[in-house]
């Protein structure tokens, strides 16, 4: 997938809304495309979190204590907390089928954040919403 192909996927992420097209292209330039076979762990609970993942194709289960708490599909994302802080992953995410993700590391994100401080507010809103969702699941 070419960098230009990543931009439409990124535009759908609330975190990146209102970012100018030129900046989105820079973000797209920093993402890495990753492919996972069914049953493969995309991230594992307890591992250090280094980045954000956006699913562009396929489906994946979010698991806590070996129990599926959510299923993600195209347009869904996870790992946003890792964009600002290197903390252990709170869940394991396993590909249910052939899954393609765009991955953005916190190091690449740092430059984006410096250029677009408004993203920090949206990131905080996203993380707060995710925490609320997690509390509702338990």
Task: Spell out the domain ranges in the chain.
Answer: 3-137
- Give the alpha-carbon dihedral of 55, 61, 35, 51, to 10 degrees: 60
Count of CB atoms within 10 A of residue 101's CB?
28
Question: Which of 16-25, 49-58, 105-114, 126-135 shows the lowest per-residue confidence on average (mean pLDDT)?
Answer: 126-135
Contact indicator for 93, 39 with CB cutoff of 8 Å = no
Per-residue pLDDT, averaged over 55-78, amounts to 95
pLDDT at position 130: 63
Residue 105 pLDDT level (bands cut at 50, 70, 90): confident
Q: Is 2 a residue whose pLDDT tops 50?
A: yes
Percent of the chain's residues with pLDDT above 70: 90
Average of per-residue pLDDT values in the chain: 84
Burial zone of 55 (CB within 10 Å; 0-12 exposed, 13-18 middle, 19+ buried): buried
The answer to whether the predicted template modeling score (pTM) of the entire model surpasses 0.85 is no
pLDDT at position 74: 95
Quick one: tokens of 50? 């280094």
The architecture that CATH gives domain 3-137 is Sandwich (2.60)
- Over residues 8-58, the pLDDT tens digits come to 988 888 777 777 888 888 888 889 999 999 999 999 999 988 888 999 999
């Amino acid at each position: 997938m070419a960098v230009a192909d990543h931009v439409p996927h990124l535009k759908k992420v609330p975190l990146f809304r209102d970012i100018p097209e030129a900046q989105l292209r820079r973000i797209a330039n920093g993402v890495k495309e990753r492919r996972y076979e069914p049953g493969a762990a995309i991230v594992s609970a307890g591992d250090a979190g280094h980045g954000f993942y956006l699913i562009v194709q396929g489906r994946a289960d979010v698991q806590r204590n070996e129990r599926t708490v959510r299923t993600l599909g195209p347009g869904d994302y996870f790992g946003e907390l890792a964009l600002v802080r290197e903390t252990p992953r709170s869940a394991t995410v396993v590909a249910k089928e052939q899954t393609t993700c765009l991955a953005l590391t916190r190091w690449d994100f740092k430059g984006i954040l410096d250029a677009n401080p408004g993203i920090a507010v949206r990131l905080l809103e996203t993380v707060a919403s995710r925490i609320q969702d997690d509390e509702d699941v338990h």
